[in-house]
């Protein structure tokens, strides 16, 4: 796993519908390895890499470029900004976070805990009660540097920590982008379309729009791990350190049974650690790909990731290596299918 590449990707700002910075970065890096590059009207970056070997199998690898973010919805009287989430961010995990608004630093704040009534303290957190302070004390000052509709991002914060672990705002799914970029540099057994997709976090819209011309798709993603104390084993979904997650079903997709079996077998044959989810949860671009163009046979290979859709997603490098490795081996396995 190229950790420096992952760090660079995670530290970019690119929310749904605003993926330009990520796309431009990827475009520059992959240009030397691409045979055909297209950017469609939804911002999807679709790259064909041809194989030296002759194979009639057409495979697409996909990862999404967008991260969860926020959008400025109005100016408050005290010069702070009202905002709303873009993607599935929970209001419970944003207060106190550092953010970037149109290049300006800010913080997410609310009424001080000391001044809240007991009833207020017990009520669930709501975005409407929060504000972004960018240091302006009047709306007229804020309007000079921020516009309604400007995007708000968790500030870049990539770190390596603990035993071989990574924390960052955007592992979901810059990790997948990093895997695709690395595999593109390798010799491949068949023509592969590398699709860097947009707008996954607001309903897999990039995947729905993209033109891929593929019989098979592998979605490289992140998925929930709740593997901490106090969570029953059957509710943990996945565990950090237990390897690549091969999906059989989630809330968006029932995966191609045959591909699922091939994926497990390929992992075993190559001594790659793998696991499946213990619950039906989450979803990804497979939900759109499986319905496209008369149906693309799709599998998903993911890393387990703690605290998804927060400023600090946490994953293990060993799991990342397992996913990268298994994805490469799956291209070969699928290429040999016919």
Partner 1 sequence: MDFFNLLEKLTEADGVSGDENAVCEIIAAEFPDCKTTINNGNLVVNLNEINPQKKTVLIDAHIDRIGFIVTQITENGFLRVGNIGKTDMRILPASRVFVGKKRLPGIICTKPPHLFDKDAKPLEISDILIDIGMDKASSEREISVGDRVLLHEKCTRLADDIVAASALDNRAGAAAVILAGKNILAGNFDKYNVVLLFSSCEEVTERGAIIGAFNINPDIALVVDVTFAKTHGENELCGRTRGGVMVGFSASLDADLSREIMTVAKKEKIPIQVEVMPQKTGTNADVITISRGGVRASTLSIPIKFMHTQSETVSLFDIEKTALLITKFCEE
The enclosing H or E element of 177 equals helix 171-184
* Chain length of the chain: 338
CA distance 92 to 168: 18
Smallest distance, partner 1 to C-beta of residue 229, A: 4
- Asked if residue 1 binds partner 1 (CB under 8 A), the reply is no
- Asked if residue 145 binds partner 1 (CB under 8 A), the reply is yes
SS3 of residue 6 by DSSP: helix
- Asked if residue 92 binds partner 1 (CB under 8 A), the reply is yes
Report how many residues bind partner 1 under the rule CB under 8 A: 64
- Asked if residue 108 binds partner 1 (CB under 8 A), the reply is yes
Residue whose pair of structure tokens reads 């699709």 in the numeric block: 195
Smaller CB separation from partner 1, 148 or 159: 159
- Asked if residue 230 binds partner 1 (CB under 8 A), the reply is yes
Smallest distance, partner 1 to C-beta of residue 158, A: 11
- Asked if residue 162 binds partner 1 (CB under 8 A), the reply is yes
Q: How far is CA 296 from CA 42, 48, 49, 179, in A?
A: 20, 17, 19, 21
According to CB under 8 A, which one of 73, 96, 143, 213 is a site residue for partner 1?
Answer: 96
According to CB under 8 A, which one of 310, 325, 327, 328 is a site residue for partner 1?
Answer: 310
- Asked if residue 247 binds partner 1 (CB under 8 A), the reply is no
CA distance 184 to 30: 7
Sign, CA torsion 297/303/305/309: negative
CA distance 73 to 278: 38
SS3 of residue 67 by DSSP: strand
Smallest distance, partner 1 to C-beta of residue 64, A: 18
Tokens in use for 29? 């890096």
CA distance 276 to 273: 11
End-to-end CA distance of the chain: 30
Pick the stretch among 33-41, 44-52, 312-320, 321-329 that binds partner 1 (CB under 8 A): 312-320
The arrangement of strands across the sheet holding 313-316 comes to: 159-161, 165-168, 313-316
Smaller CB separation from partner 1, 82 or 329: 82
324 catalytically annotated: no
Per CB under 8 A, contacts with partner 1 among 186-225 are: 224
- Asked if residue 228 binds partner 1 (CB under 8 A), the reply is yes
CA distance 200 to 150: 19
Catalytic residue among 67, 200, 201, 324: 200
Smallest distance, partner 1 to C-beta of residue 287, A: 16
According to CB under 8 A, which one of 55, 209, 254, 307 is a site residue for partner 1?
Answer: 307
- Asked if residue 314 binds partner 1 (CB under 8 A), the reply is yes
Upstream peptide bond of 175 is cis (omega within 30 degrees of 0): no
Pick the stretch among 5-13, 230-238, 284-292, 293-301 that binds partner 1 (CB under 8 A): 230-238
DSSP one-letter code for 307: T
Q: Alpha helix (H) ranges present in the chain?
A: 3-10, 20-30, 118-122, 139-145, 171-184, 205-209, 257-269, 286-289, 317-335
**Binding region for partner 1 (CB under 8 A):** 76-78, 80, 82, 88, 90, 92-93, 95-98, 104-115, 121-122, 125, 129, 131, 133-137, 141, 145, 157, 159, 161-165, 167, 224, 226-231, 235, 237, 279, 281, 306-308, 310-312, 314, 316
Residues forming the active site: 200
């Amino acid at each position: 796993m190229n950790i420096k590449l992952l760090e660079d990707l995670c530290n970019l700002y690119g929310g749904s519908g605003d993926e330009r910075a990520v796309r431009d970065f990827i475009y520059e890096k992959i240009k030397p390895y691409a045979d055909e590059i297209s950017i469609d009207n939804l911002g999807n970056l679709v790259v064909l890499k041809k194989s030296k070997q002759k194979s009639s199998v057409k495979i697409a690898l996909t990862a999404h470029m967008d991260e969860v973010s926020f959008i400025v919805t109005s100016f408050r009287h005290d010069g702070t900004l009202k905002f709303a989430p873009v993607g599935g961010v929970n209001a419970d995990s944003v207060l106190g976070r550092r953010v970037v608004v149109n290049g300006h630093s800010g913080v997410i704040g609310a009424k001080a805990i000391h001044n809240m009534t007991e009833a207020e303290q017990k009520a669930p957190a709501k975005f409407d009660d929060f504000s972004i302070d960018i240091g302006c004390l009047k709306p007229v000052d804020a309007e000079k540097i921020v516009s309604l509709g400007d995007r708000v991002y968790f500030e870049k914060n990539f770190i390596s920590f603990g035993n071989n672990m990574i924390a960052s705002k955007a592992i979901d799914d810059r990790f997948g982008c990093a895997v695709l970029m690395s595999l593109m540099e390798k010799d491949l057994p068949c023509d592969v379309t590398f699709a860097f997709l947009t707008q996954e976090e607001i309903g897999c819209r990039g995947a729905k729009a993209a033109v891929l011309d593929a019989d098979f798709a592998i979605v490289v993603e992140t998925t929930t791990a709740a593997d901490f104390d106090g969570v029953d084993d059957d509710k943990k979904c996945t565990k950090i350190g237990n390897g690549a997650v091969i999906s059989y079903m989630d809330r968006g997709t029932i995966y191609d049974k045959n591909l699922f079996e091939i994926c497990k077998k390929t992992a075993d044959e190559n001594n790659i650690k793998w696991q499946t989810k213990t619950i039906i949860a989450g979803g990804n671009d497979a939900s759109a790909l499986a319905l496209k163009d008369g149906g693309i046979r799709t599998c998903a290979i993911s890393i387990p990731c703690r605290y998804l859709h927060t400023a600090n997603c946490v994953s293990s490098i060993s799991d990342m290596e397992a996913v990268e490795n298994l994805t490469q081996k799956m291209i070969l396995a699928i290429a040999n299918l016919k």
